Structure 1
Amino acid sequence: MSLPDPYGDRFSSLLADTYRRLTGKSLLADMPPGATDAARWLYEKAPFGLLAHDTAEDPRFVYANRTVQSFFGYEWEEFIGMPSRLSAPPAKRSTRAKLMKDVLERGYSDHYRGIREGRSGTRFWIEDVTIWNLVDEAGRIHGQAALIRSTTPA
């Protein structure tokens, strides 16, 4: 899959459909009644952070909504293509890598909490995080995504 457009229906559908299949919950539950553009809402207005990386050996971010951009202090152009391991401080990267491997094997993980590092070097906790595999209807894995419900200073 090529890099997604933040407003693209195809990738937002993959995020939402896979999340629903694996967790039984909807990414769009908080979308206002009458809103019709799910991709735009997920990118611009979702009250949670949403990001995804690809399946490369050293996975790179392919999606980061505006909420996540504000958490980490990166703009879309800076975030996209960055190795996802760099979101965690160096001492926490092996723990993060183990979590990603576990998610790959189990499908998803819920209620994760971990330390992350923003562009400025400021560390913060990501809390009540769900991480899941992005799997299309043919069973092909396109990467992994994370829904970050809250953050607090570390």
Structure 2
Amino acid sequence: MTPLHRNPAFYQLLTDSYARALGLPLVPQAMTVVEASEWLYESAPFAVLAHNTDPDPVFIYGNKAAQRRFEYSWDEITRLPSRLSAEAPNREERQQFLARVQRLGYEAGYKGVRVTKSGQRFIIEEATLWQLLDAEGKLHGQAVVIPRTRDI
């Protein structure tokens, strides 16, 4: 099975749903789908994560920037329940944020505390979360772009 970071259909879902929700491209326009999906995974200067629609959503995608920041490998991050990216005291606030995105389709400018695999706390800033909706409106999960973080 092809991992999602190499799957053109998932790349299209990620980028098309972002463009529909925000009216902006997620990646530079002058690339083929293969080049753009590789750039987004390997070289993007921002973290991108996506989780599925399970009752306890699990990350299904995390680019290299996200893996470095959260200290997980691809295999680890794609088995991680997304709630574990926040410490227990911050999970309720995170859940309210996710619920707002479900109602509104996306939210930009989010700031919150997250935690790495080793337990280091950091702040995500100016994050944008959106619904992973395909062209027919079927929900596949949620994704986030984290352009900036800082240690606490």
TM-score tier (shorter): over 0.9
Question: 1:27 Cα shift?
Answer: 0.6
CA RMSD of aligned residues (A): 1.5
CA–CA separation in structure 2 for the residues paired with 1:12 and 1:82? 20
What is the CA distance between 1:5 and its match in structure 2?
Answer: 2.1
Residue 135 in structure 1 maps to residue 129 in structure 2: no
Q: 2:78 aligns with which of 64, 80, 96?
A: 80
Find out whether 1:5 has 2:4 as its counterpart: yes
Match in the other structure for 2:47: 49
SS at match of 1:6: helix
The residue that corresponds to 1:71 in the other structure is 69
Give the partner amino acid of 1:25. L
CA deviation profile, 1:50-80 (whole Å, cap 9, x unmatched)? 0000001100000000000011000000000
Matching residue of 2:112? 114
Q: What residue identity is the alignment partner of 1:17? A: D
Q: Deviations over 1:70-91 (max 9, x none)?
A: 1100000000021000000110
* Cross-structure match for 1:25: 24
Q: Indicate if the aligned counterparts of 1:64 and 1:76 stay in contact, CA closer than 8 A.
A: yes
Listed one character per residue, the Cα deviations across residues 40-59 of structure 1 (whole Å, up to 9, x for unaligned) are 11100111100000001100
Secondary structure of the residue aligned to 1:139 is: coil
How far, CA to CA, are the matches of 2:100 and 2:2 in structure 1?
Answer: 25
Other-structure match for 2:89: 91
TM-score (norm 2): 0.94
SS of the residue 2:12 aligns to: helix
The answer as to whether partners of 1:4 and 1:62 remain within 8 angstroms in 2 is: no
Q: Does the Cα contact within 8 Å between 2:125 and 2:149 map onto a contact in 1?
A: yes
**How many pairs align?**
150
Distance 1:81 1:12 in 2: 19
Structure 2, unmatched stretches of 5+, are none
Partners of 2:132 and 2:2 lie apart in 1 by: 14
Contact 2:4 2:60 in 1 (8 A): no
